[in-house]
Chain A
Amino acid sequence: EAGVTQFPSHSVIEKGQTVTLRCDPISGHDNLYWYRRVMGKEIKFLLHFVKESKQDESGMPNNRFLAERTGGTYSTLKVQPAELEDSGVYFCASSPTGTDSPLHFGNGTRLTVT
């Protein structure tokens, strides 16, 4: 069974540019999550999809971040325009139906905004 895959693994962009991160969850997992780790800080929740619906987006930092999960399969997270403080590692995770199932994480996308 393939795990959670994320693309790209690294991205370096300039302030003001746009970047789109992609996550393919484990097949059949209804729950998809985005998390972010800024250097020196803990991994922080961004948002949670159940199938194609946003269940909880309370962790999204501001309206420069847009997440979609059309069709309830893969998800994208777009940052537009990127700012320096957006640098960090963005993790995607998925889990089967239910709120107590352990999350399976992807390898993350390391975003550097210069």
Chain B
Amino acid sequence: QKEVEQNSGPLSVPEGAIASLNCTYSDRGSQSFFWYRQYSGKSPELIMFIYSNGDKEDGRFTAQLNKASQYVSLLIRDSQPSDSATYLCAVNIHSGAGSYQLTFGKGTKLSVIP
């Protein structure tokens, strides 16, 4: 079973619409959850992080966490063409070596159509 799963997409939404990106994870003990945005050929850039159940809003972005369902999502309101990128879900998962490893999903490619 993969540790962090995302739909690879591509996900296409029209400009101005809400884009919804989803992620599930396998480790029930995980406490920290992150969304990164990666443009082609660039480094992952932190968008949001969330530690508690519920919603966390930052501008046009809302992260949602449901630990009981092991599910985390990212909503992008009023999507813009500049939001077109690959969105990576990352979860801190306890490793056998006694520390936490930030574990990534494969990413969801988002295309916002003008």
Contacts and interface: CB of A to CB of B under 8 A. Distances in A.
Given A58-B97, A103-B46, 13 more contacts: A4-B43, A42-B104, A45-B102, A48-B99, A48-B101, A56-B98, A56-B99, A58-B95, A99-B92, A103-B34, A103-B102, A105-B45, A107-B42
Q: How large is the interface on A (under 10, 10 to 19, 20 to 34, 35 or more residues)?
A: 20 to 34
Interface of A: 4, 33, 35, 41-45, 48, 55-59, 91, 93, 99-100, 102-108
Nearest to A108: B43
B92 A91 contact: no
Interface of B: 4, 31-32, 34, 36, 42-46, 49, 51, 88, 92, 95-107
A106 B99 CA distance: 22
A107 B101 contact: no
A41 B13 CA distance: 25
Nearest to B103: A45
B88 A58 contact: no
B44 A91 contact: yes
Contact of A59 (B31, B100, B101): B101
